[in-house]
């Protein structure tokens, strides 16, 4: 996973298996973890590596840019990522850009949020709702 440093902007490679650690930018020493914002996944390989290797639960938001409810739930997911940084990774999969990933999980409507634990689907919820409702329905509360 490539993460830009919030301090200097340098691109840093973080192994998915170490997302529960304390990584720092080698250039400016700014903390890179915990992930306090949703991570946009750009390929099926990135998705697979994150789900397979993350020691933390991964909440994946399946969305599309044209979807009004998806845009409405985006700030709620940002809030959830911020409030639960270090305890859950929030990732975003654009169903238009990665239709193969959405197809593998039978995503029929968006937004759909799927929680993965240990590489397997643990819970799923669809529709726009507040962060508290998402957390409660997925067992993150």
- The answer as to whether 90 is a domain residue is yes
pLDDT of residue 3: 86
- Does residue 107 form part of some domain? yes
Does residue 54 fall inside a structural domain? yes
| Residue 1 confidence (pLDDT) | 85
Residue 120 pLDDT class (50, 70, 90 cuts): very high
Catalytic residue among 5, 25, 28, 70: 70
pLDDT on residue 40: 93
pLDDT in tens, 58-91: 999 999 999 999 999 999 999 999 999 999 999 9
Ranges of H-type helices in the chain: 44-53, 68-83, 99-104, 131-138
Residue 115 sits in a domain whose CATH number is 3.40.30.10
Would you call 70 a catalytic residue per the annotation?
yes
Please provide residue 91's backbone torsions phi and psi, each rounded to the nearest 5 degrees.
-125, 155
Average pLDDT of the segment spanning 24-41: 91
Does residue 18 lie in a domain region?
no
Task: Please list the residues that pair with 62 across neighbouring strands.
Answer: 93, 112
Q: Which of 8, 25, 28, 67 is catalytic?
A: 67
Q: What percent of the chain has pLDDT over 90?
A: 82
8 part of a folded domain: no
Q: Say if 45 falls within a structural domain.
A: yes
pTM across the whole model? 0.92
How many Å apart are CA 99 and CA 131, to the nearest integer?
26
Q: Contact 129/120 with Cβ under 8 angstroms? A: no
Domain carrying residue 53: 35-138
67 catalytically annotated = yes
Number of domains in the chain: 1
User: Within a domain: residue 29?
Assistant: no
């Amino acid at each position: 996973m490539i993460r830009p440093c919030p301090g200097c902007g340098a691109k840093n490679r973080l192994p998915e298996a170490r997302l529960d650690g304390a990584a720092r930018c080698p250039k400016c020493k700014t903390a890179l973890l915990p992930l306090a914002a949703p991570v946009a996944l750009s390929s099926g390989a990135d998705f697979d590596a994150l789900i397979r290797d993350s020691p933390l639960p991964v909440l994946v938001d399946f969305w599309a840019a044209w979807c009004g409810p998806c845009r409405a739930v985006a700030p709620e997911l940002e809030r959830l990522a911020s409030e639960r940084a270090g305890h859950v990774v929030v990732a975003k999969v654009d169903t238009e850009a990665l239709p193969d990933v959405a197809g593998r999980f039978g995503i029929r409507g968006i937004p759909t949020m799927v929680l993965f634990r240990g590489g397997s689907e643990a819970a799923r919820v669809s529709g726009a709702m507040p962060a508290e409702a998402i957390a409660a329905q997925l067992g993150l509360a």
